[in-house]
A = this chain, B = another copy of it.
Amino acid sequence: MNEFSQQAIFSLDQRDLPTSWINILPDLPVPLPEVLHPQTKKPMTPGDLAPLFPKALIEQEFSQERHIEIPKEVLDILKIWRPTTLHRAFRLEKALGTPARIFYKYEGSSPAGSHKMNTAIAQAYYNKEEGIRRLTTETGAGQWGSSLAIACAMFDLECMVYMVASSFYHKPYRRYMMETWGARCIPSPSQETLAGKEALKQDPASPGSLGLAISEAVEDALLRDDTRYTLGSVLNHVLLHQTIIGQEAMAQMAMTGFEPDILIGCVGGGSNFGGLVIPFVRDKIKGERADLRIIGVESSSCPTLTKGLYAYDYGDVAGLTPILKMFTLGHRFMPPPSHSGGLRYHGMAPIVGHLKTLDLIEATAIAQREAFEAGILFARTEGTISAPEANHAIAATIREAMRCKENNEAKTILFNLSGHGHVDMVAYEQFLSGKLKDIECPEKEIDEALKALPVI
């Protein structure tokens, strides 16, 4: 019996689907800094958030409950694709010649193709429950917009997606998907909002950014009573909904007989990373898993955690969102276009930044070409074509596995493969034909944008 005869997929039975989300807030050794009001710059009350979000989500944003029950209606939809599988990448291990054991949690099997659906379903549900008829959002690469589009189809809500213009034109398949699920999707900046009009006035060919698209979606929601805004990452309640990933992964790792020594996830806004690691971080805070390393991997063209400031900043360009204490490159920073739209965000989930300041997690940045090289090796060994964002996690995993080889250590690495790359094939083609260049870290622009910080 050779090594490949071992089990390669670890499936949980649907009856073992987690029934609650894990809230890390009450277990943090130092509480999360307060959220400030964008105008008054005073601590924000739940009431201040009511024009943007339904009550249940606002409660979750500030909750001190350790476990929050997943509503049955949400579970019933999560059951369409969950639990997701956990895999051992035997063939990647062999190609690298590493003694490391490489596992990955695969979130690309959701109908939308990524982990984003976990929170989309929950957010659509709570909005529907409170009588909301229409949801707005922004999307970069399109994975979040796709997820919200499905969620709205399932709860019979209208869905309006402001898609970062550069992605809208370069990734038409994602738009077609959103339309297939019944959403309306337009390029941002658009003529439908003041923020969009202003941006187009300054640059009629603006490629847009997540920060700008957020401004548009927020403005749209604020103007209509029947409409609320949804965010696919960054906020506490979003990471909360993603903890289903880490809970499943923990149960599945127990099935493998190995404990992870290293956890890896890519970080854009922080939600797939947070979702995987929060259940493990909680153990670390309790004094368990003391040696577990947890690594967030960002794009070196948008190095929020590795080169940003930990400071109060807006989540959007126009300054309409609450002010958050987070790692940020400055809300005016326009990340250079890359193929990892999901990693093109100036900010970072407050929880993720807080964990970094507490030394509970590490961060590293990887350039585009190394990420695609890793993605190609993964595709040729394990079959799956991964999203450009997730290729960063694969690349960091390969770095760690090669370090194990040098040191002859049989460590166990678990990474989150947050989404598939089926609609990112143009980027793969550019890489294969030698046209894909590494994007220089825009040091000067970052320095400039950081000057505006902190905003209070």
- Asked if A40 is at the interface (CB within 8 A of a chain B CB), the reply is no
Instruction: Check B11 against A7 for contact (C-beta < 8 Å).
Output: no
| Copies per complex of this chain | 2
- Asked if A222 is at the interface (CB within 8 A of a chain B CB), the reply is no
- What's the nearest-Cβ distance from chain B to residue A191, in Å? 21
Partner of A425 from the list B150, B382, B423 (CB cut-off 8 Å) is B423
Given the known inter-chain contacts A8-B14, A72-B5, please indicate yes or no for A380 contacting B181, CB distance below 8 A.
Answer: yes
A342 to B357, CA, bound (A): 54
A429 to B3, CA, bound (A): 45
A433 to B111, CA, bound (A): 22
A173 to B173, CA, bound (A): 10
Instruction: Check A14 against B7 for contact (C-beta < 8 Å).
Output: yes
- What's the nearest-Cβ distance from chain B to residue A433, in Å? 9
Sort A-B residue pairs by CB-CB distance and give the 10 closest, nearest first: A111-B383, A4-B76, A176-B425, A422-B422, A176-B429, A173-B425, A153-B380, A8-B79, A11-B11, A111-B384
- What's the nearest-Cβ distance from chain B to residue A48, in Å? 34
- Chain A interface helix/strand/loop/mixed: helix
List residues 381-395 of chain A with CB under 8 A from any CB of chain B.
Answer: 381-385
A425 to B90, CA, bound (A): 33
Q: What residues on B are CB-neighbors of A10 within 8 Å?
A: 14
Instruction: Check A383 against B179 for contact (C-beta < 8 Å).
Output: no
Instruction: Check A80 against B72 for contact (C-beta < 8 Å).
Output: no
Given the known inter-chain contacts A385-B111, A423-B422, please indicate yes or no for A87 contacting B80, CB distance below 8 A.
Answer: yes
A404 to B188, CA, bound (A): 46
- Known A-B contacts: A9-B81, A11-B14, A150-B379. Give 11 more (CB < 8 A): A2-B76, A5-B76, A7-B14, A8-B14, A111-B382, A111-B385, A173-B173, A176-B428, A177-B385, A180-B376, A181-B379
- What's the nearest-Cβ distance from chain B to residue A272, in Å? 19
Contact with B along A22-52 (1 / 0, CB 8 A): 0000000000000000000000000000000
- What's the nearest-Cβ distance from chain B to residue A130, in Å? 21
- What's the nearest-Cβ distance from chain B to residue A168, in Å? 13
A426 to B425, CA, bound (A): 14
- Asked if A358 is at the interface (CB within 8 A of a chain B CB), the reply is no
- Asked if A410 is at the interface (CB within 8 A of a chain B CB), the reply is no
Of all chain B residues, the one with the shortest Cβ separation from A89 is B80
Q: What residues on B are CB-neighbors of A380 within 8 Å?
A: 150, 153-154, 180-182
